[in-house]
Amino acid sequence: GALWENYSQKVAERMDNPKYRGELTEEDAARLGGKLVVADWGAESCGDAVRLYWIVDPATHTILDARFKSFGCGTAIASSDMMAELCIGKTVDEAVKITNLDVEKALRDDPDTPAVPSQKMHCSVMAYDVIKQAVALYKGVDRESLEEEEIVC
């Protein structure tokens, strides 16, 4: 049907087989020589929740590894999975600039065709919000003090 065709192949693959679903522990942090950050975020509109794990190099503030857990719909899972992938190798200041639109664009099969139907765009906002929460925790600052990027939903 028509709705079925509104999801990219990349979204379909990551819904079923996310590459970064899981968790990171203090042992992983010690092994990689980084600091463990565990951030939670929830979407008030639908009640879904996401948890993001980072290991951050304290000297360079580079995200060495990332994982997520999600009580979310398939689009939220695919978005969180791509978000975690986009975080790895970036500094926390680079990661905080990743928006939900960046995540959605990275999930497109074709650059001009949206990866998810417009009604599901809000499901990618959690992936953006939880990054901001992780940065705030890592820096020990209020989430509200971080600059807001433009959100499309």
73 is in an annotated binding site: yes
What residues contact residue 74 under an 8 Å CB cut-off, 6+ apart? 11, 15
Catalytic residue of the set 30, 46, 141, 152: 46
- Selected from 55, 125, 127, 134, the binder of ligand FES by CB under 6 A is 125
What are 86's two structure tokens?
Answer: 């986009």
Q: Are strands 35-42 and 49-56 parallel, antiparallel or unpaired?
A: antiparallel
Instruction: Kindly determine how many residues on this chain lie close enough to bind ligand FES according to the rule CB under 6 A.
Output: 12
Q: Under the criterion CB under 6 A, does residue 101 sit at the interface with ligand FES?
A: no
Q: Which residue has the tokens 């499309």?
A: 152
Q: Which residue has the tokens 């999930």?
A: 107
Would you give the distance in Å from CA 20 to the centre of its chain? 10
* Interface with ligand FES in residues 36-95 (CB under 6 A): 43, 45-46, 48, 72-73, 75-76
**Residues identified as active-site:** 46, 123
Summarize as ranges the residues that interact with ligand FES (CB under 6 A): 43, 45-46, 48, 72-73, 75-76, 122-123, 125, 153
